[in-house]
Structure 1
Amino acid sequence: MGYYENQVKKEISKPPNEITVIDSAYVFQGKVDFTMEYQSNTRPSIAFKNSNGTTVYTANASLSKTTLYDFRKNPVLNVRKDESENYKFYTGNNTDNLIGETRPKKSWHAKKYTISCKNTTTNSDLTLDMNAENNYRSCGIFVGKEKNNAPMICKILKSKTETSDNDNLQFSIEISPDVDYLFMLALCLVFIEKYEKKYNKKEE
């Protein structure tokens, strides 16, 4: 069984401790499901829909920044990339409040990133692993190392479609209970940018 098949098969599970990065209002006791829709030729180019099909968040990307908006069109967070392909996450629309950052990891088997943030529930630093299949068909976010069977707290899967159009895509997102879902959506923005860069060769 290949890496992609393993990620598809693996089920999400609760973390050892409740994870709050942005606010406890985004932490639910039950599993949270979203659909992420990406359309490269529209604005907003990214939409997150809940299980009822209602668009609850949208996102627009510029050269080095992606901003996530709620359904009232208020900016709730932004993701900024530096020249080294590292990403930093901030609340709102500015850089006043840093809540996390990524660093790439070397791997032949997957596209891997280390996520550093602070868990305000435990008031301690938290490190997550974000591992995407090389063709970005799947991605898992783990509390610990995937190879050590760490809990997968978020899973992203590309939806199968009849066409291979990389300009119009859908991904399913599963987020486990006791996890700040808004921070997981921020990580999804990194994932879709990496996908877009790989397949559409868009200039940055």
Structure 2
Amino acid sequence: MRWIYLIAGIALGIKILLTSNALPDLSQLTIVETIVRETGIPNAVSGIILRNRLYDTIFEVVVFTIAILGVKFLLSTEQPATTVYQFTDSPSIVLARLGATIAALVSIELAIRGHLSPGGGFAAGVAGGTAIGLVAITSSTEEMDRLYQRWHAATWEKISAIAFIIIAAINLSGVELPHGELGALISGGFIPLLNVLVAIKVALGSWAVMLLFIRYRGLL
């Protein structure tokens, strides 16, 4: 088998050396304008991530899911921390809750309008996870666990991941929703929906990871 790998590596190297590096004539082509026209949204970055590079984005979501499973597996044999210290002084609690409110509002804004302005699903998910983390450091572990179970966060996380993969697969097969009017809130085909699903997945996944680390390691 090593000889096969060696021959394959040599063949790949020869192909790279012999492949022409000539570039097409791009003088009459503006890449950003082309992406905006093809996706129907003014945020070209979201257009690349959720349309031109959608195949890669699917696996980014899968990798994030595997990372969450890895944290659960890593901590499954550990004993919960005997004492978890929280912020108890009023100024810290007020500031943390205020920051959580602002981060949550930013998360919603980025998820809903991420295809129209700088932002998107991943940024929205990070903002949402930040909001949850600020609440977690000022609340008891039992209360956060109770909220996690009450709102079925684990189930919604899985549903968002599966829905994203299904919709992305449909889009990759060539089926697209109407792009609508450029700059309108409902535009860009599947891209706004994919943004929201990614935001839910990242935020709820971050919540699960934070609960595990706080439960087994305390506040780091």
Q: Same fold (TM over 0.5)?
A: no
TM-score, with structure 1 as normaliser: 0.28
TM-score, with structure 2 as normaliser: 0.27
Structure with higher strand content: 1
Higher relative contact order (CA 8 A, sep 6+): 2
Structure with higher helix content: 2
Larger radius of gyration: 2
